[in-house]
Amino acid sequence: MLAVTGNGKESQPSTTTSSSSSIEWLQPCRHFKFSEILIATDKFNESLVIGHGGFGKVYKGNIINGSSVTIAAIKRLDSMSSQGATEFRAEVEMLSKLRHCHLVSLLGYCNHEKEMILIYEYMPNGTLEDHLHKLHTPLSWLQRLKICIGTARGLDYLHTGTGIEFGVIHRDVKSSNILLHESWEAKISDFGLSRIGGKNQPTTCVNTLVKGTFGYLDPNYFSTGKLTRKSDVYAFGVVLLEVLCRKRAVDRRLDEEQWGLVTWAQESIKEGNLNNIIDSGIKAQISSKCLKEFVRIVERCLLNNPKQRPTMAEVVVTLDSIQNLQQKIDSSSQTSKTIFGRMLDVFPFNAHDDSKLSSNNSKGKIRSDGDNVKDEEKCFTIPIPSLKIFKFGDLERTTSNFSQEWLIDRDGFGEVFTGWVDDKTFAPSARCVGILVAVKRYYKVLPESEVSINKYIHYYERAKRKK
């Protein structure tokens, strides 16, 4: 374990020997022989390099474990790296005791003469950074939420997880340290800068030399040298922004005077220009409610005062609720589109056949309620036997009086609400009982001089052709 002095300077590890015997007690991590590493990497063949970081190169290799073969990511310390024995030991000590589905598993290590090598489980989908900024992978909004939630759960485990007897501050949370499994589950990696923190004690701080990555560094930690779990929360807030905007934490393309994503985004949010910073690839996928909640938790994570920032447990709960809300909205929207499409299928009239309209259409009014309209001369009906004419009062009841909570769509003609009706009688029913329907309420009809009924007919015909 690393000791930390009161003046913020790190002392040397408790043992200075470089032999593997100094960490052989760490289980279940396996100590690999250097000869095994040479075989696994084909003597560090450059064609097997899958990544490169501050520690050194990462190779893809096959590790023989008894009678089975496991694909692994093998990270080799570069002799020119600023990191060294301290970070190597820290990572082995941390990961040998940590086990969580959202943390990369350390399979073993090799400490041979000057060679320091770490062997991890292989993540076939690489890093979040790669997909956001290099490969430009078309990640959907829900996929991004899933990645964020997985990362948040991993950080919550580090900070307060019941499976460990101590809390861990990662100290280098960033998109390049978030690896993705083949199922796109997120896993946190690179614990070389991590430090032990008090478990279930949010305000506990550790005095250290400031280390981390610019753009993600907690300003409070940078100015005071006091590291807390809320420093990870700040860095995660930057990752959330990165996912939403698809911009790097430090990006020269942001502004001539301001390259930092946080300041750039905060200024845009303050000015009400949120729509201008969202990645264009997901704009159409995010509901306004989800976007507001997402931005709200981002802003809380990035507060200057660490005590005012949420815990990672709070972040997990918030992101989970956003995901559930988005899925609910998507499901309702898809259902309404299906129902509306079926409704168009049974509309038999033709835009050019006015004979199918009532002779009372001269006033340009649509009859929406067979019982409530008293002045028949100002209305007309569309005689389609296969369609039921609903009472307006029933439509009010089934949509909770056209509550905005159940609004799922809006266009130039009106608004679409969800509702529930009996599957046999079509009478209003309780929520989640019977059939989920979409109810479109048109805006107030304009005088004939401004809009004709043919425009409404044209709308239906156009929608039918698109289908």
Q: Are 46 and 58 in contact (CB under 8 A)?
A: no
Q: Which two tokens stand for residue 431?
A: 């929520």
Instruction: Tell me the residue type at 203.
Output: T
| Residues sharing a CB contact under 8 Å with residue 269, sequence separation 6 or more, in sequence order | 277, 295, 299
Within 161-260, where are the H helices?
A: 219-224, 229-245
Query: Given the structure tokens 């981390």, which residue do they identify?
Result: 212
Q: Reduced to 3 states, what is the DSSP secondary structure of residue 76?
A: strand
Q: Which two tokens stand for residue 449?
A: 């001089």
From residue 402, how far is each of 387, 388, 389 by CA, in Å?
21, 20, 18
Distance CA 309, CA 204 (A): 14
Q: What DSSP element (H or E) covers 75? A: strand 68-77
Task: Count CB neighbours of 460 within 10 A.
Answer: 15
Q: Is 75 annotated in some ligand binding site? A: yes
Where do the DSSP E strands lie in 103-199?
A: 106-112, 115-121, 167-169, 178-180, 186-188, 195-197
Q: What DSSP element (H or E) covers 50? A: strand 49-52
Instruction: Tell me the residue type at 192.
Output: G
Residues carrying an active site annotation: 172
Helices and strands: H and E segment counts in the chain: 12, 15
Q: Which two tokens stand for residue 286?
A: 């995010």
Q: Which two tokens stand for residue 162?
A: 């019941």
Q: How far does CA 73 lie from the centroid of its chain?
A: 25
363 DSSP 8-state letter: T
Task: Count CB neighbours of 306 within 10 A.
Answer: 21
The dihedral of CA 148, 152, 153, 154: what is its sign? positive
Question: How long is the chain?
Answer: 467
DSSP string, 213-239: -TTTS-HHHHHH-EE-HHHHHHHHHHH
Binding residues for ATP: 75
Binding residues: 75
